[in-house]
Structures are given as structure tokens and as C-alpha cells.
Amino acid sequence: MLHQNVPTVIFSHPPIGTVGLSEQNALKQHGETNVVVYRSQFTNMFYSLALDENMKLPTYFKVVCVKRGEDHVVVGIHGIGKGMDEML
């Protein structure tokens, strides 16, 4: 069993989730030219209908990928925000 592929969640407020390689570990293992990192920030569905803009709390998501030819293989996913425990 590969324990690096088991998601880990910290049940804080907001929850934090991680699975796979971190960006730093991916850079060490695969080299700087082969690693691509995608970042996203969005308002999750729990807060998306809030009338007050100050109530809309963001969710942050990072996907770490490694180039394999013309394709990208996901080697790590990390995020923080409401519902992250269920997403991972």
C-alpha cells in the first residue's frame, strides 16, 4: 500500500486537506522543469448564495502535476476551506 496516496485531513475551522506530494517534494523528485502547479481560489457552494460579500469565505486549492510527455499526471492535491474534508 502506498501511504502517500491516502488523504489526510485536519478537522480545523476551516478544514485543511492534503494527499500526495507537496510542491517541494515534487520539485526534488522530478525536477523544476517537469513540475507544473495549478492554483485556484473560489467561493464554495456553502457560501456562494450569501448576500453579504464579507460572508463569502474563499476556498484555496492547489494541484501539483508532473509532465509525462504531452500529458500531466496529478501527484498531489492540497486545499483549505469549508468542505475540504469531503472533497478529498
pLDDT, tens digit (0-9, with 9 covering 90-100), for 1-42: 777 788 999 999 999 999 999 999 999 999 999 999 999 998
pLDDT at residue 58 greater than cutoff 70: yes
pLDDT at residue 79 greater than cutoff 90: yes
**pLDDT value at position 51?**
63
Distance (Å, rounded) from C-alpha 84 to C-alpha 59? 8
**pLDDT value at position 77?**
96
Mean of pLDDT values over 72-83:
94
Beta-carbon contacts of 25 under 8 Å, excluding residues fewer than 6 positions away, are 76
**pLDDT value at position 78?**
97
Q: Is there a contact between 5 and 19 (Cβ–Cβ < 8 Å)?
A: yes
- Please give the span between the terminal C-alpha atoms of the chain, in angstroms, as a whole number: 18
Q: Which fold has domain 3-87?
A: Enolase-like; domain 1 (3.30.390)
Q: Where are the domains of the chain?
A: 3-87
